[in-house]
Amino acid sequence: MQMKGLFNNGHTTFSIEIFPPKKPGTIEDVYTTLDGLSNINPSFISCTYGAGGNSGDATTIDICSIIKEKYGILPIAHLTCVGNTKETIDEAIRKLDEASITNVLALRGDISERAGLSEDFKHASDLIVYLKEKAPQLNISAACYPEVHPDSESVVSDILYMKQKEECGAEHFMSQLFFDNEDFYSFWEKTQIAGIKSPIEAGIMPVTSKAGILRMVSMCGASIPKKLSRILNKYENNPQAFSDACIAYAIDQISDLVANDVDGIHLYSMNKPEAAQRIYNAVKNLL
């Protein structure tokens, strides 16, 4: 199914992201996560790329096959430039075909000392072009950044690069996490001025720990508004209150976004189905 077919139907699309199990986790952890999310019945579940992860567990494509076959939910497999060459992407295409998976999210990925870029793919747009040439049956999604990608020279260059990804074949965008909806609205307005037509989902991440989110925003360039900062500081030593307050913050974000007719909500579940279920239950009648 083409991703764009999930949008423009008078409703806000609701989707979820999970990641492959990390060491010392097992494939059973994936089933536990998916069992908890299946009651939500999201429009799709995306699975992050597991390169360099727990090699004893299922790969991203294997997990997407489980999502599709066992749970009957549309999967999207992440593919990155980092850690891949044309040969490894060719193998990924073969596995996608075998599993009848036709939706992928093409990303540059996070560069590290352990996993860097090959000469074949320097940018997500390079990967998108290659996928369209080698596997035209694939429906390609891409990432976007309401607060600008950390490596971008400017807001303008970031939006223009997003437009380039669309022109290369991306037909749907998922945004990086953000915590101030005004940042997303300002970004969305710029995409419309640039002539970007593809649906854009707002990426929402419920905060699960103060240290974790501070580390995350330092990597992706997102900011923490004062309202959320007060929550993190006030409840950091009270786990239940911290969880309740942060879930309430995510619900408030989503309620406002839906009221403003965003194309979709992409919930970064962090493999915590209980929190995702609480959030969905609070907003499902709004979608």
Give the pLDDT band of residue 200 (cuts 50, 70, 90).
Answer: very high
Average of per-residue pLDDT across 178-201? 97
Q: Is the peptide bond before 24 cis (omega within 30 degrees of 0)?
A: yes
Catalytic residue among 17, 166, 171, 201: 17
Helix (H) or strand (E) holding 67: helix 60-69
Q: Where are the alpha helices (DSSP H) in 78-224?
A: 86-98, 124-134, 155-168, 181-193, 210-220
- Give catalytic status of residue 167 as yes or no: no
Alpha carbon dihedral 266, 270, 275, 280, in 10-degree steps, equals: 20
Predicted TM-score (pTM) of this structure: 0.94
Give the pLDDT band of residue 27 (cuts 50, 70, 90).
Answer: confident
